[in-house]
Amino acid sequence: MPMAKRRDKMSETPKPAAAAGEADLSARYLVPALIRGLNILQELSGERRRMTLSEVAAALGVTRSSAYRLLFTLGHMGFVAFDTDTKTYVLGPQVLRLGYGYLASRDIVEVAMPHLVRLRDRTGWSAHLGELHGRDIVYLARVATRRSIASTVHVGTRLPARFTTMGRILLAGLSAEEVRELYRDEPSTGGKTPGTLAGLIEQLAEDRETGVVVQNSGYEPGVASIAAPIHDMTGHVAAAINISAVALLTNDTELYGPLKAEVVAAAEAISRDLGHQAADVDGKDLPPARRSAT
């Protein structure tokens, strides 16, 4: 009996809180100097792109000598540069290299998928991601509508770029010379619009100006579609997204109004996630999308 009571008391002995132990362990491995160095990079990438030594010291809550040693080390590694004219510190080129490395490691499909799902949910339409491959648009991702009636295009599908919304917006990202080279040996398309190379270049110039393409029963009769470009951090048109649905389920008021706005907003969000910084267009509306003649 005494032994049993002893075991009971031992089993009732409280154990240290796991959370407290984990917090102590985490704090033990933190490197204060590294934290301060990274804080400097965050400060210089914020609203104040240039800071004096005194400003850096004040922001970190350290002495000027401590701040100088941190800045000297970051400068030695290329993460910070010193402007002798203004006596201020700015971000160095090594920061940009890290940014490029991070963005290059992110697959565009991985980046776009959450936005495509959100776009599908907000519009009720199927949402797609595509890239330009020669004269074709290749579908890289698809988020299908939940409606029973839908336009079905599978991942890997190739369609002629010049007649599809995503293809047109991607071709619009090329120069007129690049378009001529791409289509120089292609014969006239007859009844399809545009039927000539000159007509295609003219149409792409309008698509480039509007920044969005809307078609109602264009390439595929009975199917409506809206596309917008995705830009990478260099401003290059890297891909495009679109939504598509059976034309009978929508009308021009929706196509050129809220649906177009949703597609443009999703494309801009994906572009931002890829590192693109668009020009300030606050207070400006996109021009009306050009309606396909087919």
Set out the domains of the chain in order of their start, with CATH numbers: 18-99 (1.10.10.10), 106-291 (3.30.450.40)
pLDDT, greater one: 284 or 76? 76
SS (HEC) of 53-69: HHHHHHHHCCCHHHHHH
Q: Chain-wide mean pLDDT for the chain?
A: 80
CA distances from 34 to 40, 69, 70, 134, 153 (A): 10, 12, 9, 47, 50
Question: Which position has the token pair 């104040």?
Answer: 48
Closest CA to 250 of 239, 241, 263: 263
Cα 44 to the center of its chain, rounded Å: 23
pLDDT of res. 103: 56
Q: What is the tens place of the pLDDT at every residue in 183-237?
A: 887 655 544 556 688 888 988 999 898 999 998 876 667 788 999 999 988 888 9
Q: Are strands 223-231 and 213-216 parallel, antiparallel or unpaired?
A: antiparallel
Q: What is the tens place of the pLDDT at every residue in 275-294?
A: 887 754 433 333 333 333 33
With cut-offs at 50, 70 and 90, classify the pLDDT of residue 74.
Answer: very high
Quote the pTM value.
Answer: 0.59
DSSP summary character for residue 151:
-
pLDDT at 15 over 60: no
pLDDT at 268 over 90: yes
pLDDT at 91 over 80: yes
Question: Which segments of 13-125 are extended strands (E)?
Answer: 80-83, 88-91
Number of Cβ within 10 Å of residue 289's Cβ equals 23
